[in-house]
Amino acid sequence: MPSPDLLALVVTLKMAALTTVILLLISTPLAWFLAKMTSRFKVIIEAIVALPLVLPPTVLGFYLLIAFSPQHLPGQMWQQATGQQLAFSFSAIVIGSVLYSLPFVVQPLQKAFEQLGGSLLEAGAMLGAGPIDRFFTIVLPLTKASFITAASLGFAHTVGEFGVILMIGGNIPGETRVLSIALFDHVEAFDYAKAHVLAISLLIGSMILLASVYLLNLPRRITTNLG
Amino acid sequence: MSISFMSVSFASNNPIDNPLRIAVSSNFTPVLKKLLLEFHQQTNINTQIISGATGALFLQIKHGAPFDIFIAADSVRPKLLEQQKLILINSRKTYAIGQLALLSMHNKAQLSDLALTLQKIPKYFAIANPEIAPYGKAAKQTLQHLGLWQQYQKRLITGININQTFAQVRSQAVSSGLVANSQLIMNKLDGVVIPSSYHQPIKQQLVIIKNRANIDHAKRLSQFLLSPKIQQKIVSYGYANNVLTELPIQPLIRPLIQQGKTNAKP
């Protein structure tokens, strides 16, 4: 049986990895749509996407808890579809994380798509490339760095998530107890030695991840500054 | 790719099959952890501790959290769950009576005299939030009993629960405050126990959640915690005697309580 903190690490990495994959799948079309949108409603969608940045996590968590509970419609629909309760499950914390980390993935992608000139895409279209072909051969290579930034920020932000998961996860070992909650438990129990170990690992891990992202973006940043 | 990898490794990682899930108020968690060692030896029942604020755990149980037994820090939330018919009938029991204590990290010398110490009103004073935390409510009643509530009101730093209050005083962010006596004992710190007559009893109750698979194990844990031997142990960890709550409690230091009473009159 692995140590409780190791188990929390495994749950955290699974949650963050799955969240990042789902976020990339949702955010890419959403960011593209927002980048190309000219209607006035654009600001409303942008505001909704950015909401998790300003809403207190426990508030978001509280409403998600109500929505996910077996007494209410979204929770009931999930239960009918999967046969399992949504609140306090691994699926619940993944859905919560997707909502909570959405702006961290959508915003960098949207910026990248906005900066992308239309001429290259037009050239691709004239040469007979379809929309999907154009996306993979022109857009993706040109915006690779932004995809890496978006994915890393989404992943890192999900690892550091606390309030939402505390509410909808229920702190269940091996299922919804993630590192940040295990750390909080140690602090609450005045077990500062174990808390320090987790805190320093989280700190070093996040530091390495963020430094790598900035390192990957460094050549591009320098050339854009010069050019 | 990651989806399939996840579901496979997840099933194999589940450490214990169907353990008894205990939702416990974080101020009782350290004591419970010690007691569970003995419980496991006696019964061979595996347990899982989910520690949190009583209010948050209550909210989660209301929305279907998979907990078998709820060990709360008060009697309000267990009563509410009982009224909402979410618990096993007659499973609401008082397992401990909380005691307050004055903790000061700076001037230990003055702690021998509670009333005198409290009359020197500090710049800041830490108590748990009287509106939401049972130890905070008792702290407010204590200050009212001593006639000091008005003077203290603007100096109060209120924690969301007694653990936060304890952390604030222990880290010396606030020089003194009213914490749980069990926190002092578990952390081997000195303080002054507040006489139980200064406030209404802090009844800490447990309830067994109904419609769960582990009800038999939950009942055994409840019986275990209420057994005379374990009750004695709980008292030794800084709680008041559960059986004798109706009787006045012997003050630890006699002059101290008299001093407090005379001060309460005006």
Give chain A's mean pLDDT: 90
Query: Cβ of A88 under 8 Å from any chain B Cβ?
Result: yes
**Which residues of chain B lie closer than 8 angstroms to A69, CB-CB?**
63-64
Residue B252, pLDDT score = 47
Please, what's the largest Cα pairwise distance for chain B?
74
- Tell whether B80 and B211 lie within a shared domain: yes
- Tell whether B191 and B256 lie within a shared domain: yes
A204/B258: higher pLDDT: A204
- Tell whether B196 and B210 lie within a shared domain: no
Terminal-residue alpha carbon distance, chain A? 56
Going by C-alpha positions, the residue among B225, B10, B226, B187 that lies closest to residue B103 is B187
- Other C-beta atoms lying within 10 Å of the C-beta of residue B165: 29
Across A219-224, average pLDDT: 63
- Tell whether B113 and B213 lie within a shared domain: no
Residue A2, pLDDT score = 66
Exposed / middle / buried, residue B125 (Cβ in 10 Å: 0-12, 13-18, 19+): buried
Residues 6+ apart with CB under 8 A from A204: none
Residue B111, pLDDT score = 55
Residue B3 lies in a domain: no
Q: Which residue has the tokens 């578990």?
A: B186
Q: Is B207 helix (H, G, I), strand (E, B) or coil?
A: strand
Residue B72, pLDDT score = 96
A100/A218: higher pLDDT: A100
- Tell whether B153 and B255 lie within a shared domain: yes
User: In this predicted model, what pLDDT tens digit does every residue of A56-90 receive, in sequence order?
Assistant: 988 899 999 999 998 899 999 999 999 989 999 99
- Tell whether B169 and B255 lie within a shared domain: yes
- Other C-beta atoms lying within 10 Å of the C-beta of residue B23: 28
Cα–Cα dist A215/A209, whole Å: 10
Residue B91 lies in a domain: yes
- Tell whether B257 and B224 lie within a shared domain: no
Residue B258, pLDDT score = 45
- Six-digit token string for A151: 């994915």
Across A126-131, average pLDDT: 84
User: In this predicted model, what pLDDT tens digit does every residue of B129-171 receive, in sequence order?
Assistant: 999 889 999 999 999 999 999 999 889 999 988 999 999 998 8
Q: State the pTM of this model.
A: 0.80
Residue B6 lies in a domain: no
- Tell whether B179 and B259 lie within a shared domain: yes
Q: Which residues of B67-90 are buried (b: 16+ CB within 10 A; e: fewer)?
A: bbbbbbbbbbbbebbbeeebbbee
Residue B244 lies in a domain: no
Q: Is B205 helix (H, G, I), strand (E, B) or coil?
A: strand
- Six-digit token string for A91: 């699926």
Bridge partners of B69?
B22, B208
Bridge partners of B24?
B51, B71
Going by C-alpha positions, the residue among A7, A202, A168 that lies closest to residue A74 is A168
CATH architecture of A14-177: Orthogonal Bundle (1.10)
Q: Is A177 helix (H, G, I), strand (E, B) or coil?
A: coil
Residue B25 lies in a domain: yes
**Which residues of chain A lie closer than 8 angstroms to B21, CB-CB?**
172
**Domain CATH for B117:** 3.40.190.10
Mean pLDDT by 10 residues, chain B (266 residues): 37 57 93 95 94 91 94 95 95 96 76 75 92 92 93 91 91 92 92 91 96 93 95 95 54 45 43
Q: How many domains does chain B have?
A: 2
Residue A226, pLDDT score = 53
Q: How many residues does chain B have?
A: 266
Residue B67, pLDDT score = 95
Range of the domain at B143: 99-200+250-264
- Tell whether B151 and B36 lie within a shared domain: no
Residue A2 and residue B60: Cβ atoms within 8 Å? no
- Tell whether B221 and B177 lie within a shared domain: no
- Tell whether B196 and B206 lie within a shared domain: no
- Tell whether B142 and B211 lie within a shared domain: no
**Which residues of chain B lie closer than 8 angstroms to A70, CB-CB?**
63-64
Residue B7 lies in a domain: no
